[in-house]
Amino acid sequence: MTNVIDVSQITAGYVPEVNILNSCNLTVAAGEFVGIIGPNGAGKSTLLKAVLGLVNIRSGSVRLNGEEITGKKPYELVARGVGYVPQTRNVFPTLSVRENLEMGCFIKPSLLDERLDYVVSLFSRLGERLDQRAGSLSGGERQMVAMGRALMLKPSVLLLDEPSAGLSPVLQDQVFIQCRAINESGVAILMVEQNARRCLQVVGRGYVLDQGSNAYTGTGRELLADPKVIQLYLGTLARATGG
């Protein structure tokens, strides 16, 4: 089966001669839920942005459903079925929830009614707030709007950058439950997450990045149980709970 995302030996960075990623590899199969964890500065978000064409890739390649997309513009990838939810500034605060969602399918307006129904069925709270200004929502609700907007074009893969950042533990759990529901509906997910232990509990497979390179990879359960991963990346909390 062709992978939805296939990252091969990419080296990338934001400024000349300074590489954030060094020969990174990553795959996401159709319908798979994959997480990326690692210490601050490891290159997690940079890897996600490299897939989306937001970072200069100096060597290596990125493929989407078997087709070369290295260096393609983000809007081209969105049209090809890639959804993206950035960590910050991920809603239009002055627009209503409905208008934010409408923006998600502006290139295919014929999908609006069908996809709006789908998003509201997934995030019932948004259905109660369609006419409310997005900037007045709670952090968790804004995250729902951002994820909902990214789903409006029926993406085959959803890229999530720190979806639980800044949320309370209860809201973090809600976001992860919603991510799993999205994945179970058939959408592949590639998620960067600082909450490493929780990430590995919900994903099917994970990658650990360190200093811009792959350090470990395996199923979520395997990484949660790996003594080296626990010691270096998960800390005493994971050890105390047994993963």
Q: What is the pLDDT of residue 1?
A: 62
Residue after which a domain boundary falls, among 139, 154, 169? 154
Nearest to 243 by CA among 204, 193, 194, 198: 198
With 80 as the cut, is the pLDDT of residue 241 above it?
no
Q: What is the pLDDT of residue 127?
A: 92
Domain identity same for 144 and 211: no
Q: What is the pLDDT of residue 160?
A: 97
Domain identity same for 74 and 61: yes
Q: What is the pLDDT of residue 231?
A: 87
Domain identity same for 71 and 164: yes
Domain identity same for 64 and 169: yes
Say what the pTM is.
Answer: 0.92
Domain identity same for 70 and 169: yes
- The order of strands in the sheet holding 56-64 is 21-28, 5-13, 56-64, 67-68
Residue after which a domain boundary falls, among 106, 136, 154? 154
Domain identity same for 59 and 139: no
SS3 readout for 19-60: CCEEEEEEEECCCCEEEEECCCCCCHHHHHHHHHCCCEEEEE
With 60 as the cut, is the pLDDT of residue 243 above it?
no
Find residue 82's DSSP bridge partners. Answer: 157
Residue after which a domain boundary falls, among 154, 174, 198? 154
Domain identity same for 14 and 127: no
Q: Which residues fall within 8 angstroms of residue 221, CB to CB, at 6 or more apart?
A: 200, 243
Q: Which residue has the higher pLDDT, 43 or 1?
A: 43
* CATH number where 66 lies: 3.40.50.300
Domain identity same for 104 and 171: no
Domain identity same for 184 and 200: yes
pLDDT digits (tens, 9 = 90+) for 56-99: 999 999 999 999 999 899 999 999 999 999 987 889 999 999 99
The total domain count for the chain is 2
Domain identity same for 67 and 104: no
For the residues 217-237, what does the mean pLDDT come to? 86
pLDDT digits (tens, 9 = 90+) for 105-146: 988 999 899 999 999 998 989 999 999 999 999 888 999 999
Q: What angle do CA 126, 98, 154 make, to 5 degrees?
A: 85
**Element spanning 11, H or E:** strand 5-13
Domain identity same for 210 and 139: no
Q: Which residues fall within 8 angstroms of residue 119, CB to CB, at 6 or more apart?
A: 101, 126, 148, 151, 152
Nearest to 122 by CA among 181, 170, 82: 181
pLDDT digits (tens, 9 = 90+) for 178-222: 999 999 999 999 999 989 999 999 999 999 999 999 999 999 999
Under the banding of pLDDT at 50, 70 and 90, the label for residue 239 is very low
Provide the mean pLDDT of the chain: 91
Q: Tell me the residue range of the domain where 36 lies.
A: 1-81+155-243
Q: Could you tell me the two tokens for 132?
A: 């409310």
Strand 213-219 versus strand 205-210 pairing type: antiparallel
Domain identity same for 173 and 74: yes
